[in-house]
Amino acid sequence: MKLKNEAFTLVELLTVISLMGVLFALCFPSYRAARERAKAATCANNLRQIGIALTAYADENGVYPELQDRMDKLEQLPALDTLIFKTSTGVLRCPSDQTLFAETGTSYSWNALLSGVQPGADCLIGGTDASLTPMASEKVSKHQTSVYADGHVSAATVNISLISDE
């Protein structure tokens, strides 16, 4: 009587490993896309909170704050992280930002045209329409998200057409 060997053969083992590799290769791009969508949602939420804080400041003081964008954290300029969010800076960091937050103290830029302007006043960008006036947007152009003076957050849609002289 001959004993039956119940172990896997090398061919069977390699087949299973290759199938697992194919399945992983098919699933990995969707995982990365889902992770990037989660980062974009966090970024939009951060901008919404910044917009609420800027609107509260404007309601209390009658004008938007006089802010500037810094190129370096060491610059002594009034910016989002020095005026609005002094203690909790997590809201000022976009999850997709790898370097700007460490260098400048924030991943978001302030619309300097609104510095010292009363809410609802005519602005160069958007005029008096608050839904067209961006207050802050992300410095990292990964998601191209902005918060507008009416409080909504959306991704920027920029149409650029090239004009050629022929």
Residue 51 CA, distance from chain mean position: 14
Pick the more confident residue, 89 or 10. Answer: 10
Q: Tens digit of pLDDT for each residue in 47-57?
A: 898 888 888 88
Average pLDDT estimate for 119-140: 72
Domain ranges for the chain, please list them: 40-155
**pLDDT for the residue numbered 17:** 92
**pLDDT for the residue numbered 105:** 78
> Model pTM?
0.69
CB 79 within 8 A of CB 106: yes
Long-range pairs of 156-160 with CB within 8 A, sequence gap ≥ 24:
none
Nearest to 102 by CA among 92, 113, 88, 116: 92
